[in-house]
């Protein structure tokens, strides 16, 4: 009878153990939705068009954490700052404002000539400026402030 009882108990407990094991596996396999973004800015440089008082800033965003969104940009060195994307449409380069930009988890976003850039208008001291400060605003990550060196046209990255 002893065997009979233990067998019965094991039979009763088995569904509970299976459910528990299932929960543990689920917890181990589910994506870490709470992982915070870990963003850094590298390879930043700017181009100024002095006659127009405009500038474009280029850089690469590296994200070593969870997903985030770039939701704005500002600059103490210009009147207006915004995220733009250049695209060729019917043989013409056109720029579009990108008020929000997805930053994938553990991914990169490249701002480069002919594509994404931070567009500045009303650049102060545009003729003589050697660096431009911009601040990037994210939905999740704290603001990132970068001082970008100004490169003349015709140098690397053009
Ligand atoms: Cu632009």
- Between vectors from CA 131 to CA 130 and to CA 134, what angle results, nearest 5°? 160
Which distant-in-sequence residues (6+ apart) come within 8 Å of 127 by Cβ? 50
Residue 142 CA to residue 128 CA, distance in Å, equals 31
Q: Give the distance (Å) from ligand 1 centre to CA of residue 57.
A: 9
Q: For 60-69, what is each residue's pLDDT tens digit?
A: 999 999 999 9
pLDDT at 158: 45
Q: For the chain, what are the domain ranges?
A: 1-30, 39-149
Q: For 27-47, what is each residue's pLDDT tens digit?
A: 666 665 689 999 999 999 999
Residue 60 CA to residue 67 CA, distance in Å, equals 16
Q: Give the distance (Å) from ligand 1 centre to CA of residue 82.
A: 8
Q: Give the distance (Å) from ligand 1 centre to CA of residue 45.
A: 15
Q: Give the distance (Å) from ligand 1 centre to CA of residue 34.
A: 34
Would you say the pTM of this structure is higher than 0.85?
no
Average pLDDT, the chain: 88
Which distant-in-sequence residues (6+ apart) come within 8 Å of 69 by Cβ? 100, 101, 102, 103, 138, 139, 140
CB-based contact 96:61 (threshold 8 Å): no
Q: Give the distance (Å) from ligand 1 centre to CA of residue 138.
A: 20
Residue 153: pLDDT band (50, 70, 90) is confident
Does pLDDT of 137 surpass 50?
yes
Q: For 72-110, what is each residue's pLDDT tens digit?
A: 999 999 999 999 999 999 999 999 999 999 999 999 999
CB-based contact 119:82 (threshold 8 Å): yes
Q: Give the distance (Å) from ligand 1 centre to CA of residue 137.
A: 18
**Residue bearing tokens 């965003």:** 61
Say which CATH topology domain 39-149 has. Immunoglobulin-like (2.60.40)
Q: Give the distance (Å) from ligand 1 centre to CA of residue 99.
A: 13
């Amino acid at each position: 009878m002893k065997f009979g009882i233990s067998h019965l108990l094991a039979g009763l407990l088995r569904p509970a153990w299976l459910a528990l094991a299932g929960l543990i596996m689920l917890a181990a396999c589910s994506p870490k939705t709470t992982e915070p973004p870990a963003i850094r800015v590298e390879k930043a440089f700017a181009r100024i068009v002095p006659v127009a008082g405009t500038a474009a800033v280029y850089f690469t965003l590296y994200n070593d954490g969870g997903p985030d969104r770039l939701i704005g940009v500002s600059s103490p060195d210009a009147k207006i700052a915004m995220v733009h994307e250049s695209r060729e449409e019917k043989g013409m380069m056109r720029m579009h404002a990108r008020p929000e930009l997805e930053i994938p988890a553990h991914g990169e976003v490249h701002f480069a000539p002919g594509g994404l850039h931070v567009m500045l208008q009303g650049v102060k001291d545009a003729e003589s400026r050697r660096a431009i400060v911009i601040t990037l605003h994210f939905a999740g990550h704290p603001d990132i402030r970068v001082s970008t060196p100004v490169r003349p046209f015709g140098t690397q990255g053009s």
